[in-house]
A and B are shown apart, each in its own frame.
Chain A
Amino acid sequence: MEKYLEILNYTIYGAAILLLLIGLYGALTKKSLIKIVLGLSIMDSGVHLLMISIGYLKNGTAPIFSPGHENELAKMVDPVPQALVLTAIVIGFGVTAVALALVIRLYKHHNTLRIDEIKNLKW
């Protein structure tokens, strides 16, 4: 029983790695350009979840000194991964926006979203 509870502890890591792998699988195998961008975006979420869960502490609180919680310094979770993920989310948004703009351009040029029909992309 305790061994299974031990595994439960790693559920978040498992879910995050699963998201990462699902995104990578989608980006590698799908033919539609929109689905590839979606795959990259899912991969992004997986990485964010992974980074956030590294900083987690059991029974920890948010790293905010709100009134009445000024002295809970030892209980607070690590704020550094959270700050890094805040940056990563914004960068991920920028990447997705530019990728979708490129998809729009490609669609106008070739009238299709399937990469196997766009011959110029083959090398």
Chain B
Amino acid sequence: MKKAIILISLTILGVYLIDIFTGIGFGTQHFASGVKDAYLIGSKETLKVSNVVTSIVVNFRGFDTLGEVTVLFLASMALGGILYKKRHDVGERSVLFPSTRIVMSGAKLLFPSIVLLGAYVFIHGHLSPGGGFQGGTIIATGFLLMLITYRNYSVSHNRLSYVESFAGILFIGLGLAGYFINNSFLANIFPAGKLNDLFSGGVIGIIYVAVGFKVAAELTGIIYTVLHEKD
């Protein structure tokens, strides 16, 4: 009975949504292209950043990204708070069976290249697809691999929080520097450079490196907290 009601209301919702979206149309220019063109031209001409999504995320809507990073920080803090336990009460890592020699040597071999790939992705965030969040996630997967392969591999929580705080302070510090030099929070304070150059876009590359470190530290902290849950 309950399921029938839910199904009927979901069907109504689906038909309504499909009606709306067929009205919008697929694959055509259906927004006034003012915003899109302003972002595309502004990114190419004034910021000299080739990846427009990056320039929107870090420069045009940089304040939004600061909020996003704060939400991620709050999520990792809330996770630590919910799963809080005293220091000597930290359990054995909940890995069910020890890994074989092949997995161990494979993980050791792969770990540096995963970290390198992550660093590449966030350093080249303004030139190619990718950026701070993606690169940070890749680095965190490397740590996840090490943590589930080796039972006694541990990450220093203090060091993670140092990295995280330093990256956050760098982000806010760059924003404040923009405020004092160019009268606007997160304004560009470095020369824009040349399109498709590694040192282009001024402050964008530095902010994305900071975001990459911050996301990597936060995700590694989350993984570490959850893996050390005692059952």
Residues of A participating in the B interface, judged by any CB pair closer than 8 Å: 9-10, 12-14, 17-18, 20-21, 24-25, 28-29, 50, 53-54, 56-58, 60, 62-67, 70, 73, 76, 78-80, 82-83, 86-87, 89-91, 93-95, 97-98, 100-102, 104-105, 108
Chain B residues, CB < 8 A from A29: 2-3, 6
Task: Report which of B22, B52, B57, B229 forms a contact with A13, defined as CB distance below 8 A.
Answer: B22
Chain B residues, CB < 8 A from A63: 40, 51-53
The B interface is mostly helix, strand or loop, or mixed, namely helix
Residue in chain B with minimal CB distance to A62: B129
CA A105 – CA B168 in complex, angstroms?
Answer: 29
Task: Report which of A13, A58, A90, A102 forms a contact with B82, defined as CB distance below 8 A.
Answer: A102
Contacts A13-B22, A21-B10, A57-B27 hold; do A66 and B196 have CB atoms under 8 A apart? yes
CA A14 – CA B26 in complex, angstroms?
Answer: 11
Contact A17 B71 (CB under 8 A): no
Contact A17 B17 (CB under 8 A): yes
Chain B residues, CB < 8 A from A93: 72, 75
Contacts A21-B13, A83-B56 hold; do A56 and B26 have CB atoms under 8 A apart? yes
Contact A66 B128 (CB under 8 A): yes
CB pairs A–B below 8 angstroms (11 shown): A10-B21, A10-B22, A13-B22, A24-B10, A65-B43, A65-B50, A65-B196, A80-B39, A83-B56, A94-B74, A108-B231
Contact B53 A10 (CB under 8 A): no
Contact A73 B53 (CB under 8 A): no
Contact A101 B128 (CB under 8 A): no
Contact A9 B226 (CB under 8 A): no
CA A58 – CA B27 in complex, angstroms?
Answer: 5
Residue in chain A with minimal CB distance to B134: A86
Residues of B participating in the A interface, judged by any CB pair closer than 8 Å: 2-3, 6-7, 10, 13-14, 17-18, 21-22, 24, 26-29, 31, 35-37, 39-41, 43-44, 50-53, 56-57, 61, 64-65, 68, 71-72, 74-76, 78-79, 82-83, 127-129, 131, 133, 195-196, 222, 226, 229, 231
Taking the nearest CB of chain A, how far is it from the CB of B150, in angstroms?
23
CA A18 – CA B10 in complex, angstroms?
Answer: 10
Residue in chain A with minimal CB distance to B25: A9
CA A50 – CA B18 in complex, angstroms?
Answer: 11
Taking the nearest CB of chain A, how far is it from the CB of B127, in angstroms?
8
Residue in chain A with minimal CB distance to B48: A65
Contact A21 B14 (CB under 8 A): yes
Since A64-B51, A80-B56, A100-B226 are in contact, a sample of 4 more A-B pairs with Cβ atoms closer than 8 Å, ordered by chain A residue number, is A54-B24, A64-B50, A83-B61, A104-B82
Chain A residues, CB < 8 A from B222: 97
Taking the nearest CB of chain A, how far is it from the CB of B34, in angstroms?
11
Chain A residues, CB < 8 A from B13: 21, 24
Contact A90 B133 (CB under 8 A): yes
Contact B44 A65 (CB under 8 A): yes
CA A36 – CA B210 in complex, angstroms?
Answer: 34
